Amino acid sequence: MMESGVPLCSTCGEPVGFSSNGEVFVACHECNYPLCKPCFEDELKEGRGSCLRCGASYLVHDTTEDADHQELRKRVTMASHLQDSKDNGVHARNESSLSVAESEANSESGNPIWKNRVESWKEKKNKKSAAKKAKKEEQIPVEQQMEGKESLDDGQPLSRIVPLSPNKLTPYRAVIIMRLIILGLFFHYRITNPVDSAYALWLTSVICEIWFAVSWVLDQFPKWSPIMRETFIDRLSARYEKGEFCGLAPVDFFVSTVDPLKEPPLITANTVLSILSADYPVEKISCYVSDDGSAMLTFETLAETAEFARKWVPFCKKYAIEPRAPEFYFSQKIDYLKDKIQPSFVKERRAMKRDYEEYKVRINALVAKAQKTPDEGWTMQDGTSWPGNNPRDHPGMIQVFLGNSGAHDIEGNELPRLVYVSREKRPGYQHHKKAGAMNALVRVSAVLTNAPYILNLDCDHYVNNSKAVREAMCFMMDPQVGREVCYIQFPQRFDGIDRSDRYANRNTVFFDVNMKGLDGIQGPVYVGTGCVFNRQALYGYGPPSLPALPKASFCSWCCSCCCCCRSKKAPKDEKEVYRDSKRDDLNAAIFNLREIDNYDEYERSMLISQLSFEKTFGLSSVFIESTLMEYGGVAESANPSTLIKEAIHVISCGYEEKTEWGKEIGWIYGSVTEDILTGFKMHCRGWRSIYCMPLRPAFKGSAPINLSDRLHQVLRWALGSVEIFLSRHCPLWYGYGGGRLKWLQRLSYINTIVYPFTSLPLIAYCSLPAICLLTGKFIIPTLSNIASVWFLGLFISIILTSVLELRWSGVGIEEWWRNEQFWVIGGVSAHLFAVFQGFLKMLAGIDTNFTVTSKAADDGEFADLYIVKWTTLLIPPTTLIVVNLVGVVAGFSDALNSGYEAWGPLFGKVFFALWVILHLYPFLKGLMGRQNRTPTIVVLWSVLLASVFSLLWVKIDPFLSKTDSAVAQNCNSIDC
């Protein structure tokens, strides 16, 4: 764990220490590679005179140069970095806005509170670093220290990129270019050959086709350079776990829940148990559960879970259980004796299963008790009233269940920390739903544990792979990779979905195709759960390697604070002023933390002044100090006895007022899909993200599998995208100032926020086949030979693109087809409603909700699949199906009445109508309800064939009448 912002040596794991003048020791002044002075001297003695990271030569005389020369060099280095920070729109710009009087006052004495804190800070660090260094040298054998150095000298990476085979990628790219060319020729033909007899239909179809082409470009080109990654967990352990010493970074887990009656407490408890039993050092894990509904049921469930964890955690670690969520472990239909050789395993497993069943009974009893709230409200066991009886008006609540003294399992081993958090809520305050709850967890965890990394999970997403945290640390703790990484995103995998995945709940195409493509650019988007964050990225800090600007002297930096230096500031031309203003608008980063250890006492006191940091982070000195610790750790200046009091303060409902929370810091407000917005802001600051796909899925969750719930979920996602589109954070115009967001990454974010608008051309295009069949007109004129080539080439290129995409991604054809079907189903229903609801909400302030009510239910393994719920989302797709079916019947009727020559044009019209019906088929099947009823396809064909036979009969009957009359006339003519 890091002490007060001092980096740890990458060789021995100790703080790098201080030089003779009291400044933090820096071995390499090119990249600030963390290396303590003893290890640095060993490097020089062994003849290695260059930096392990950047390869720059060490300046040997830096260790012996006089203090005045060293101080001058450090000031120049610090001043140049500060000028870089100010030009990049960093938080130091707040100081330049101070008045002259305030600046002079701060320059003379600084903030006395912070000045005293910094003095005590340095004194404690000098003493503790020397004592710990001696202690660790005694504990760790010399041979083991040398082995650690040798392993680092080898420079073996903790992960590697697995590029796709050129045999798969080159044809894929070639077909994309070919399809782009064919699209151009196709649109040239379509625009230059209008259909005069159906001009309105032709114009509508061309506009829709152009929009579809643009959507395809936005979706396709971010997948230009897909990659895959491989991690080396054994190397991570060899490097950071040496005997009793463990250098793995601490991780704070966040679990969020709101309503225990809608989100079953047993599922939340299983998620918590899977976290507490993860394969990671227990002292490095802290689990924070956010109860945003202030429910006593959630509180009591965690109390029961903490007791059961004392048995469950040692059982999992003793027998390497997977998964470590008991509900899902005991429900597995596999041979649980596989790879288990301990003779006592069967006996202990049976005992554990019995304990878990008793635990479930207690949880279910709590749930049954909570179904009806007493008139006087809930009462705790000591007789006092539950503080959260009013979920909209209650104080902040924190309870540490595990992690304090005496928190051990049944075998006497330490357990991870488990903390219950319910932030304060009062009427009249905007609480920002999940995003606000997550930001409250960020602050309370910073005060109590302040782990450098945060892993957030939904309450229904349990840890399926106990080594998932180690997988993430292979990226975060890799010196070559982790410095620029803001988060590690894992794919979402789900349980309880039917085999055919009728409504594309697994979303495989997105997670296995699109996200791999984004990983080859600047990284995957944040999808709200299963993500490991760099805490400093959440604080709005930029990555260490911000774009460099021309360096300036120390006086030029101070000119904004000291009037005596104003005359020395070089004037800027218009281009530089415009560039700096754009970066200031971007709010790219608050501060470059890598330079803070090089500041002297005067400079540090200015940067940690209340005038700059409290306007950003809020009125908590303990929390502000924690934000300066790049490698985590609890602030030394804080009294442990007052930490809970401070934690209550940072989750108060008014804490975020007049700060940057939700604007530039933490989870960003302004959309129901706060995850997309939060990741977008980080990428705009220059960070990159990484997509981690271990062989065993890291996390698994549950998904709504019936049609109505699925559409309602998609509606929420689409509404969030529309809100971002109508906000200042729209990727179409936001984030250009810093030049840190790559263009292909921008295209992917643009596609993320404009895709709901595809519903408008999609519903028009799905209506065109029926209109053409009913009116006898068509959107395409008579095809020539060259036009037939363009149409044929377009269809072939579409098929080839999909086939080659499936080839390199490993996605199955059925999964791809389900995704295509639900793209149409969601597009003509949920996306359409999201567009109108978004405009009503953002422009008129009208918040429209489409409620879903249960209509029927069945029992069975996939009972939810057959539940039919009524919602307004069902109207548009139902209408399209009926209209197209009627159009097909009318088309056949018209062809039968018109003769043989009408069957040719009918083929094209019916083809497009069947395209719509096939894509909406899962929707129609969902309306039919139970699986054991007559298959929908049989019903469809029965209706269609009955209609055709009826029309044939109508046609044949007059034909026979005409024949009979003709025969009669012939007989009369020959006088028969």
Binding site for UDP-alpha-D-glucose: residue ranges? 256, 262-263, 292, 433
List binding-site positions: 256, 262-263, 292, 433-434, 458
Active site residue 957: no
Question: How many Cα atoms sit within 13 Å of 874 on the Cβ side?
Answer: 19
Strands 688-691 and 485-489 come out as parallel
**Range 126-130, long-range pairs (CB < 8 A, 24+ positions):** 126/18, 126/22, 128/3, 129/3, 129/6, 129/14, 129/15, 129/17, 129/18, 130/17
Tell which residue, 440, 441, 460, 448, has the closest CA to residue 402.
Answer: 448
Dist CA 501 CA 495 (whole Å):
11
SS3 256: strand
Dist CA 71 CA 115 (whole Å):
19
- Longest Cα separation, the chain: 137
**SS3 letters across 573-618:** CHHHHHHHHHHHHHCCCCCCHHHHHHCCHHHHHHHCCHHHHHHHHC
Q: Which residue has the tokens 């195409």?
A: 509
List binding-site positions for Mn(2+): 434, 458
For residue 646 the two structure tokens come to: 């401070």
For residue 358 the two structure tokens come to: 């008793």
Computed over its alpha carbons, how large is the radius of gyration of the chain?
33
Dist CA 102 CA 395 (whole Å):
37
Considering 84, 292, 409, 709, which one is annotated as catalytic?
292
Cα angle at 302 between 296 and 309, to 5 degrees? 165
**Cβ contact 709:852 at 8 Å:** yes
Dist CA 878 CA 872 (whole Å):
11
Tell which residue, 842, 537, 893, has the closest CA to residue 685.
Answer: 537
Active site residue 675: yes
The beta strands (E) that lie in 158-280 are given as 159-163, 227-231, 241-242, 245-246, 251-257
Please return the burial class of 2, using the count of CB atoms within 10 Å of its CB with bins 0-12, 13-18 and 19+: middle
For residue 902 the two structure tokens come to: 């009408």
Strands 227-231 and 241-242 come out as unpaired
Please return the burial class of 973, using the count of CB atoms within 10 Å of its CB with bins 0-12, 13-18 and 19+: exposed
**Cβ contact 892:948 at 8 Å:** yes
Considering 84, 409, 597, 675, which one is annotated as catalytic?
675
For residue 591 the two structure tokens come to: 């501060």
Using DSSP, how many helices (H) and how many strands (E) does the chain show? Answer: 35, 17
Q: Which residue has the tokens 């054809």?
A: 813
What is 451-504 written as a DSSP string? Answer: -SEEEEEETT-EESSTTHHHHHHHHHT-TTTGGGEEEEEPPPEEES--TT-TT-
The residue type of 381 is Q
Dist CA 104 CA 110 (whole Å):
9
| Residues known to be catalytic | 292, 675
